[in-house]
Amino acid sequence: MIVTPKFRGFICTTSHPAGCEYSVRQQVEYVKKQKRISGAKKVLVIGASTGYGLSSRIAAAFGCGAATIGLFFERQASGNKTASAGWYNSAAFEKFAREEGLYAKSINGDAFSNEIKEQTIELIKKDLGKVDMVIYSIASPRRIHPVTGEVFNSALKPIGSPSTVKTVDFHTQQVSESTIEPADEEEIRQTVAVMGGEDWDMWMKALKEADVLEQGAVTIAYSYVGPEMTHAIYRKGTIGRAKDDLEATAIKLTENNKDMGLKAYVSINKAVVTQASAAIPVISIYISVLFKVMQDMNIHEGTIEQMYRMLNDRVYSGDMKLDEKGRICMDDWEMRPEVQAEVARLWAEANNENIREISDIEGYRKEFFRLFGFEFDEVDYSADVDIDVKIASIE
């Protein structure tokens, strides 16, 4: 089949298998060129198929030589409907890992459910015995509580008062302002239930009870802070409340598991284009401007550079360089005063006439389509491809 992008706003409903494979290969090649990391050996990645989770899996496997179990919620191809990008990414990852002689197995299902937790634990017991690192990288709009069955939906809204934000439609490159009404208490509660720390906590309890965590294991979840101009919608909004809860969970997990020396961290990662971040209104214009500024300063990073740096320079370097709240700060380059001063200056000026000069809006658009395997010069999009790609470890 010839696969072309079919998109609506920040959603692309088709993915290109060869393009996704190419994109995973690029990440693998990047890590293979770096110094080997003496670190994790058996890693569970929850949310392993796209964005930060996929890059964490690649950095652990090809950087540390780790065996990985990857868990995700993706769609396989059916009829003439392509699989989701995360499905193709995971098929490619397993292929490259096996070529390298690395153990790699995947589980596709709802990580929030008890059933998938049990299935994962069984697989760890059977194949790895125990794991020494657990990465928690879920981004989801919805969660079904495994005990009560309550369905929670997350909201991306400010808290307290309405917020007027600049945003850009990266397809049309039109800048506009829109006002987002504040969330009510119920929306805050539901967002915290989806993106806060409860499920991470449930995972770690289940893994500990099943005795599949090595003594001194490390677990890391991901968060974001960002500059003042994004705070109303992000850090001081509903999603920020969820991240406060996630960060508090890290402290609690370390405290409550001293007996086995578990170390739980939150890593504050840089703003990048992923399926999750594309859904946040103010973030598209912020990232477009940020990319240009960081590229001009030669300090641009994507997810793979960040995740390799996190493992090599922080987690397994002997010096985590934690901030005053005990967090790993991978946003250190993004938050440099000179970067933020320039972003703030350009951001204030952004309008329809100058958006192409003052930001990398074209780069943003390209990155968005690359998440789905499109826009790579090296891939022949006129070629017929088999969309029914199997993930080696999934029947």
Binding site as annotated, residues for NAD(+): 47-52, 73-74, 110-111, 138-139, 243, 272-274
In the window 48-67, what residues touch ligand NAD (CB under 6 A)? 48-53
Could you please report the per-residue DSSP string of 145-181?
A: -TTT--EEE-----SSS-EEEEEEETTTTEEEEEEEP
Nearest to 272 by CA among 284, 263, 264: 284
When the beta carbons of 31 and 139 are compared against ligand NAD, the nearer one is 139
Closest residue to ligand NAD, based on beta-carbon distance = 51
Report, in Å, the least distance between residue 243 CB and ligand NAD.
7
Q: How many residues bind ligand NAD (CB under 6 A)?
A: 29
Report, in Å, the least distance between residue 228 CB and ligand NAD.
17
**Binding-site residues from annotation:** 47-52, 73-74, 110-111, 138-139, 224, 243, 272-274
Nearest to 63 by CA among 301, 311, 306: 311
Please list the active-site residues: 234
Distance (Å, whole) CA 228 – CA 327: 19
Which residues is 252 bridged to in the sheet? none
Asked whether position 333 contacts ligand NAD by CB under 6 A, the answer is no
- Strand extents, DSSP E, the chain: 7-8, 11-12, 42-46, 67-72, 104-108, 131-136, 142-144, 151-153, 163-169, 174-180, 213-223, 263-268, 328-329
When the beta carbons of 114 and 354 are compared against ligand NAD, the nearer one is 114
When the beta carbons of 194 and 214 are compared against ligand NAD, the nearer one is 194
In the window 136-175, what residues touch ligand NAD (CB under 6 A)? 137-140
Distance (Å, whole) CA 56 – CA 64: 11
Q: For residues 86, 88, 93 and 96, what is the CA-based torsion angle, rounded to 10 degrees?
A: -170
Residues 6+ apart with CB under 8 A from 184: none
Distance (Å, whole) CA 52 – CA 307: 7
Q: Cα separations (Å) of 332 from 133, 323, 327, 359?
A: 23, 10, 12, 21
Quickly count: other Cβ atoms within 10 Å of residue 123's Cβ.
Answer: 18
- Is the CB of residue 47 less than 8 Å from the CB of residue 138? yes
Chosen residue from 19, 47, 196, 281 binding ligand NAD by CB under 6 A: 47
Q: For residues 237, 241, 247 and 248, what is the CA-based torsion angle, rounded to 10 degrees?
A: 150
When the beta carbons of 30 and 52 are compared against ligand NAD, the nearer one is 52
* Binding characters for ligand NAD, 85-124, by CB under 6 A (x = yes): -x-----------------------xxx------------
Piece of 70-78, 186-194, 255-263, 376-384 that binds ligand NAD (CB under 6 A): 70-78
Report, in Å, the least distance between residue 78 CB and ligand NAD.
17
In the window 254-283, what residues touch ligand NAD (CB under 6 A)? 269, 271-272, 274-277
Piece of 132-140, 211-219, 309-317, 341-349 that binds ligand NAD (CB under 6 A): 132-140
Report, in Å, the least distance between residue 98 CB and ligand NAD.
20
Structure letter (DSSP) for residue 37 = -
When the beta carbons of 68 and 274 are compared against ligand NAD, the nearer one is 274
Asked whether position 218 contacts ligand NAD by CB under 6 A, the answer is no
When the beta carbons of 271 and 311 are compared against ligand NAD, the nearer one is 271
Asked whether position 72 contacts ligand NAD by CB under 6 A, the answer is yes
Contact residues toward ligand NAD (CB under 6 A) are 47-53, 71-74, 86, 110-112, 137-140, 222-224, 269, 271-272, 274-277
